Structure 1
Amino acid sequence: MRLLLILVLAGLMQAARTFSPDIPIGGGAAGTALACGYLLLSAFLMGAVFKSLRLPQLTGYLATGILAGPQVLNLVSGPMVSNLRIFNGVATALIALTAGVELDLTAMKPLVRSILWLTGVAVCGTVVLISVAVFLLHGQLPFLHGLTTVQVVVLSLVLGVTMVAQSPAVVVALQSEMSADGPLTRTVLGVVVISDLVVIVLFAIVSSVAKTFLGTKLDALHTAGALAWEVLGSIAVGASIGVIFAVYLQFVKGRS
């Protein structure tokens, strides 16, 4: 039944794009609203199908995006996808908020040493391996042609740091779906969250070094200030908002 509904939705989406003059292939407000509604409904149904097969619902969501996107069925065109990027910031904020809520600092205190060791090994080890692989294969990568050895090394480091970036979205989604809890789950979540912070700092450093070797003028003081604000400022603002919400919720709880 769910598969039939998915097919019906796909047919309606194609019909709406084909026969409605108000929804051009380029998107627009109507096209963006149509794409958003179609993707939400289809992803929900596809997630239910995958769950019935004892697979993570997240896999169904990914499959929906891949199949409906411009590279496969093109039910959602490229311009529509671009217009939907407005939801990226909201989704990122909600994912980060959920990850923060799931971090039970009291329960994670005995795991701090393990989390720090795993984070260091995972981030540093992966950066080194990817950077070495990119450097060894730079002859096969067109965008590295014509560069000096030092420039290739620096850009390999940039790619290594970029590719090691992790998102807590998958961890949070699977944890929520499976109601998982325990030392292993808390360790994985802690490693993913801390790795994000480490990658932000590393990327700022290696990208600044890369700009220097690629001939771009660099203001070290400005870069350090921007990095400090990016990391420490965001932590301070987030903590302040968290305290305000906590006080408000305690107030509401006391009134109820």
Structure 2
Amino acid sequence: MLLSISLIFLIGMAMGKIFDKVNLPKLLGMLLTGILIGPYVLNLIYPAILEVSTDLRQIALIIILIRAGLNLDIKDLKKVGRPAILMCFVPACFEITGMLIIAPKLLGICLLDAAIMGTVIAAVSPAVVVPRMLNLMENGYGKNKNIPQMIMAGASVDDVFVIVLFTAFTGLAQSGSISIMQFLKIPTSIGFGLIGGVITGLILTKLFTIFHIRDTGKVIIILSVSFLLVTLEHALNGIVGFSGLLAVMALGATIQQKKYEVSKRLSSKFSKLWFGAEVILFVLVGATVNIKYALNAGLLTILLIFGVMIFRLVGVYISLLSTELNMKERIFSCFAYMPKATVQAAIGGLPLAMGLASGEIILTVAVASIIITAPIGASLVDRSYKKLLTK
């Protein structure tokens, strides 16, 4: 196990640095590391690490979402208003619609299979998007119109919306029926997640006021409480939904509102944690990529991914109509909503594991979407923000 951990960090960091030097996203080097040392190529990762890979990736995601919350000013988000709400579900709906139109013609699958495939592909990756938006905020790009805040919030809620739809459609495929009550999980997951995060954040700020706790201790407490919130999400399997990741982000934002100076110091601590968590996250995402399915992704699959991406970009553009954003800023927002990685790695293989007839082709498209959109989207964001956004 120690050898595997060493390989993950040393090779992952080295590849990230090499790709950064040639002006390519670091995450591409880390993804490639995971593919190479993962179980489908060299098989150098200890099996026990792969067994807890999902949990390790979720820990990394929690770290970046806490940091996002600690930097998210609710007043700025309120100024954005309507487009921030529309970005939570309109682009995903457009992409799923595109999948329903294109996939049956290109791949010969039925509409239900296309709907499941659409929900797998439609989620944007907070792990790719959020660190870049935080970098823009720290450097002052797009802050005058709160563009990074809008994209961070939208990307986080977008995942909740898409995963609930995925659960409903796979349930229909397995049982032959779908309950309207399942769709109640969308508003309840978002609502209770935000409320739970705010309440938890208020309790923690009170605790930090009453008791003198070092910042390192605060980091451990916030991380532990965040783990509990995500665990609560898994425990609530009924009609009432609860988004643990949204609660984590709301927790951080509440601390930012109540204890601004503390939030700045804690954000710095979490940014240092992210340095290591980023390597673990993207190397392990790469390790989930079955190169056989990636190689099976022929021209039609690639055309499908780019085709539905056009639908997503139209959805982003429509969400930003009648706003103060100029054409360049809208184009940048489209770029920021392209990367796919974490959700596709998490749920891409579930239809196959459920025994659905379309499971293999869905997994193939999910793998191809990670390989294509994560590096392209990240690269476009990294290379364009100085030209498209105002500092």
What TM-score, normalized by structure 1, do the two folds share? 0.65
The AA in structure 2 aligned to 1:94 is I
Aligned equivalents of 1:235, 1:156: Cα separation in 2: 31
Correspondence for 2:132 among 140, 162, 174: 174
Task: Point out where structure 1 has 5 or more consecutive residues left out of the alignment.
Answer: 1-30, 145-151
Specify the alignment match of 2:150 in structure 1. Answer: 187
Larger CA Rg, structure 1 vs 2: 1
- CA shift for structure 1 position 45: 2.8
Matches within 5 A, 1:24-63: 31=1, 33-63=2-32
Deviations 1:89-117 (A, max 9, x none): 32232233233333322112221222233
Contact residue 164 and residue 199 of structure 1 kept, 8 A: yes
Contact residue 127 and residue 160 of structure 1 kept, 8 A: yes
Deviations 1:105-159 (A, max 9, x none): 21122212222334443111111001222222353xxxx5xxxxxxx32232122
Correspondence for 2:91 among 112, 117, 122: 122
Task: Point out where structure 2 has 5 or more consecutive residues left out of the alignment.
Answer: 216-391
The AA in structure 1 aligned to 2:200 is I
Secondary structure in 2 aligned to 1:103?
Answer: coil
Secondary structure in 2 aligned to 1:166?
Answer: coil
Aligned equivalents of 2:185, 2:85: Cα separation in 1: 25
Specify the alignment match of 1:154 in structure 2. Answer: 112
Q: 1:195 to 1:227 in 2, by over 3 A?
A: closer
Contact residue 65 and residue 130 of structure 2 kept, 8 A: no
Aligned equivalents of 2:190, 2:85: Cα separation in 1: 18
Matches within 5 A, 1:90-239: 90-139=59-108, 152-176=110-134, 179-181=138-140, 182=143, 183-212=146-175, 214=176, 223=182, 230-239=189-198
Contact residue 68 and residue 76 of structure 1 kept, 8 A: yes
Deviations 1:219-249 (A, max 9, x none): 766x578777655444443333222222233
Tell me: higher relative CO, structure 1 or 2? Use CA pairs within 8 A at least 6 residues apart. Answer: 2
Contact residue 133 and residue 149 of structure 2 kept, 8 A: no
Across the aligned residues of Structure 1 and Structure 2, the Cα RMSD in angstroms comes to 3.4
Specify the alignment match of 2:343 in structure 1. Answer: none
Q: 1:100 to 1:129 in 2, by over 3 A?
A: same
- Give identity over the alignment, percent: 24
Contact residue 134 and residue 148 of structure 2 kept, 8 A: no
Matches within 5 A, 1:1-12: none
What TM-score, normalized by structure 2, do the two folds share? 0.45
Q: How many residues align?
A: 210
Aligned equivalents of 2:66, 2:213: Cα separation in 1: 24
Secondary structure in 1 aligned to 2:75?
Answer: helix
Secondary structure in 1 aligned to 2:81?
Answer: helix
Deviations 1:145-203 (A, max 9, x none): xxxxxxx3223212212210122110122234564542332232122122123223433
